[in-house]
Amino acid sequence: MTPVVPSAKATLGSWAWVLVAGIVPVYRFAAESGISWLPEMIIGLIAASLLFGRARSLPGAAVWIFAGISIVVAGAISGTSSNITASLRTAGALAVLLGITPFVLRYYFVHSKSFASRAATAFLLVQSISAIAALAQVAGMSVLGASANSGRANGLAGHPNVQGLMSVIAIVLIITVYRSVSPRFRALLVVCGGINLAALIATGSLSSLLSMAAALIVLIAARRAGLRTIFIGSACIVAVIMISLTIGFDPSALFAPVSHRIDVVTGETDGVASLGIRQQTYAFAWTYIQQDPFIGVGMDSMNQGTFNGITVVHNYILHAWYQGGLAMVVAIAAITLLLLRRIVSAMSTGERSSEAAIIAAIIVYALGSAFYDQQQYWLPLLFATVSSYSLRGGASLKKDERAQHGRRAPKQRHQNLHRGLLSNN
């Protein structure tokens, strides 16, 4: 059988998905600034891609199909507690996102030679602009009408926590591609990395900082980083601090949002996201689940609030179970197990460490946030997950061919038939 050779020519479909990758860092800001049809546009793109045959099977396909079906079932059943039509509408959009997008992205990773590098570049470019806006906000400026939120930088992400997570993803990408780019671009990457790190700290997002820690742990473990690498990284941080002090800037000022946020979360000061309030949402959701573990309160927003009728559950597993019932949490659990398997695989083999680090960062973030059906959270997770199967030498492509044709694919040498998220073309 003739192997698929990726095309060097970009198609309209591949550019559309590169555009989506570039929108991700500013998705919420864009949606709240007049582009309210953005979610529908992305669902339409997914549907159009499938309609025109731009989809390909991938390892773990059964999990995504099962999740999509289960989510629809959850929407129908839980809708009896709220509004069946509204619940099914929310469930349908999420089912399309999770049940079809992995197959569409797989197609472009396999068939478009530069898709991965273009998508990563688009994300980094837009996110770095958002990070610059975040630094301007903590300096007291307003950018496109967006300003700091109680001293915490929003950037162009629409919320400090979202800005923090996007900065984490950008930092992981920069760390990973640094050695693979030409020397003339490395200085630019260092600057972008510094900007995103500063923006991450300026958001004061503890969830994002924990995500960054998880990503670094996966990267260090998967890459078998030695003391030399850790020493160089530490030396760079010290150098940045010394240069900052030399030019009259006190880096400790950046940590003010973090220290304030710690006081809020621990209850030292008043705040809507204190640890006590989060625990109340967990307790409220768990009490409901114990009373009725099957139905859920509805996947739409009618009953999403917890103890005060407003604050949602800040844990993606409890959130899914509380709103969608047993069918929804089973779907999310299946996806989580698949994602954890990708992380373990990367840490044991050293392959696709960057994708695994991004997956780990998003999972840790989801454990303490209102992660639910937001496309802005799921899209980077799906990009990273699908990219993690893009093994060197076409190994995963051979596996696809065996599964689809029921016989052993001929032994051939494939020279990077498709590239992962961080490939340099």
What pLDDT is stored for residue 180 in this prediction? 79
Hey, what are 132's tokens?
Answer: 């610059």
Is 55 inside any structural domain?
Answer: yes
What pLDDT is stored for residue 75 in this prediction? 97
Is 418 inside any structural domain?
Answer: no
Q: What is the pTM of this model?
A: 0.85
Is 273 inside any structural domain?
Answer: yes
State how far the Cα of 379 lies from the Cα of 251, in Å rounded to an integer: 33
Is 157 inside any structural domain?
Answer: no
Hey, what are 238's tokens?
Answer: 């010290």
Hey, what are 411's tokens?
Answer: 């032994």
Cα separations (Å) of 51 from 45, 46, 55, 100? 10, 9, 9, 11
Annotate 210-268 with three-state secondary structure: HHHHHHHHHHHHHCCCCHHHHHHHHHHHHHHHHHHHHCCCCHHHHHHHHHHHHHHHCCC
DSSP conformational letter for 180: G
Is 299 inside any structural domain?
Answer: yes
Report how many domains make up the chain: 1
Residue 215: which residues within 8 A CB-CB, separation 6 or more?
Answer: 168, 171, 172, 357, 358, 360, 361
What pLDDT is stored for residue 155 in this prediction? 92
Cα separations (Å) of 95 from 228, 354, 390? 45, 27, 24
State how far the Cα of 292 lies from the Cα of 109, in Å rounded to an integer: 42
Is 286 inside any structural domain?
Answer: yes
What pLDDT is stored for residue 3 in this prediction? 56
Is 413 inside any structural domain?
Answer: no
Range of the domain at 36: 12-125+247-405
State how far the Cα of 388 lies from the Cα of 32, in Å rounded to an integer: 32
What pLDDT is stored for residue 260 in this prediction? 52
What pLDDT is stored for residue 399 in this prediction? 47
**Residue pLDDT tens, the chain, 425 long:** 445 556 556 689 999 999 999 999 999 999 988 888 999 999 999 999 999 999 999 999 999 999 999 999 999 999 999 999 999 999 999 999 999 999 999 999 999 888 999 999 999 999 999 999 999 998 888 888 888 877 888 999 989 999 999 999 999 999 888 877 888 888 888 889 989 999 998 888 888 999 999 999 999 888 775 545 555 555 555 555 555 545 444 455 555 555 555 555 554 455 555 677 888 999 999 999 999 999 999 999 988 999 998 999 999 999 999 999 999 999 999 999 999 999 999 988 888 899 999 999 999 999 999 999 999 999 999 999 999 986 443 344 444 444 444 444 444 433 333 344 444 33
Q: Read out DSSP for 31-82? A: HHTT-TTHHHHHHHHHHHHHHTT-----TTHHHHHHHHHHHHHHHHHHGGGS
Is 257 inside any structural domain?
Answer: yes
- Which of 354, 393, 349 is closest to 116 using CA atoms? 354
Are 391 and 104 spatial neighbours (Cβ–Cβ below 8 Å)?
Answer: no
Exposed e or buried b for every residue in 325-364, given b needs 16+ CB within 10 A?
bbbbbbbbebbbebbeebbebbbeeebbbbbbbbbbbbbb
Hey, what are 375's tokens?
Answer: 């496309």
What pLDDT is stored for residue 393 in this prediction? 36
The residue behind tokens 């929407």 is: 75
